[in-house]
Amino acid sequence: AVLLAPTPQQQNKCPALQPKAEPRQAHDARTLSPHHAQVARSTAAASAMPALVHRRPFQSTTSAPKSMAASPNYSEAMSKERQRAAAQQGNLDATACIKELEISLAKGEIALEEYLAVSAKLQGHDAGEQKKAEAAAPSLAATRTKRMLEVTVSKIFPAGFGWQMASIYAGNAGLASTSVPFFLATGMGDCVGVFLGHTGFKAIQKAAGYEVNLKNETQTGLHLGSAAFMSGAAWQPTLNALQVLECTFNQAALGVGASCTLAFFVGLRLFRKVYSSLGWEAVEENNYENLKGDIGLSVSIGGATAAFVGTDVSYGAANWLAPVVGISENCPDALGQVIAGSSTALGFMATQHVQNNMLPEGKNWID
């Protein structure tokens, strides 16, 4: 088979397609005058130099590592002359070069063996660079942990803190812990804690130089706070009912966690529908994708509310969380609020840690 010579355009785009130029024949100095003989000898010396020096260097549209041209693998696919020219150019676009090779192979301009050899070297280099980039990037576990801590600090701790503060004010106002006004007051405390914690955290980030849209973050804070109102209002009546049923501490914690998971989820979906209908850009309409995310977040909120049961020391020794987050009657109010926020943070992180380790990338709401 006769192979067609590559066109000049293809030679310029891909160094691997450029043929070596044959040196021009030198004149016989014996038939020339001394002056012309000297010119002939200079011309012959110049002709013996690598042909690629007289060509336009390889032009790349995408920067690639300079080390590529100097690597041992790539030198097997290019002559030493082309390698030096490519190193001077400093950039090699492996993808563009492989595409040119494929075009030339389809036209029958290069042999299959040459195409396989050169493309394999180029692809091997790209794969190595990709592995280096992946190694330098933060791991999935580190990214999830960082986001989990941000959510804990900005929303979960303030939620427990706000609930406890509201319960203190409600109690001082004479509201019984079995009354509806008490439930609504504590739910509002939960809501305000989440909203102020989220917007305050984002405001600090913006002041620190991060790119933050405070309008959108305010809408997000109201959405999450509204859902927190539902779970915060459901916490006390659920615990009251389970205590009437004489449930153990573990049973009460699981029951409260399940109830608040459902309440928070209903709040997310309900207020997502309300706020998106108002044209809020930061709140998506209900769809399947955010349905899965809402479920995952609600489960972690359920873990936070379950740990919050640990603040109730009336269970005695059965409350194995009491030594850590128990709030006694003589505990100062300010300290009790900090302990309450710590209990919700503890439960949230424990539950979210399980999701972080079990769910693949893209399946966790925190991703």
Nearest to 74 by CA among 63, 86, 62: 86
Residue 37, pLDDT score: 52
CA distance 39 to 43: 6
Residue 47: exposure state from Cβ atoms within 10 A (0-12, 13-18, ≥19): middle
pTM: 0.66
CB-CB contact of 56 with 85 (8 Å): no
Three-state SS for the chain is CCCCCCCHHHHHHCHHHCCCCCCCCCCCHHHCCHHHHHHHHHHHHHHCCCHHHHCCCCCCCCCCCCHHHHCHHHHHHCCHHHHHHHHHHCCCCHHHHHHHHHHHHHCCCCCHHHHHHHHHHHHHHHHHHHHHHHHHCCCHHHHHHHHHHHHHHHHHHHHHHHHHHHHHHHHHCCCCCCCHHHHHHHHHHHHHHHHHHHHHHHHHHHHCCCCCCHHHHHHHHHHHHHHHHHHHHHHHHHHHHHHHCCCCHHHHHHHHHHHHHHHHHHHHHHHHHHHHHCCCCCCCCCCHHHHHHHHHHHHHHHHHHHHHHHHEHHHHHHCCCHHHHCECCCCCHHHHHHHHHHHHHHHHHHHHHHHHHHCCCCCCCCC
Residues of the chain with pLDDT under 50: 1-2, 24-31, 39, 43, 45-80, 83-84, 87-88, 90-91
Residue 50, pLDDT score: 43
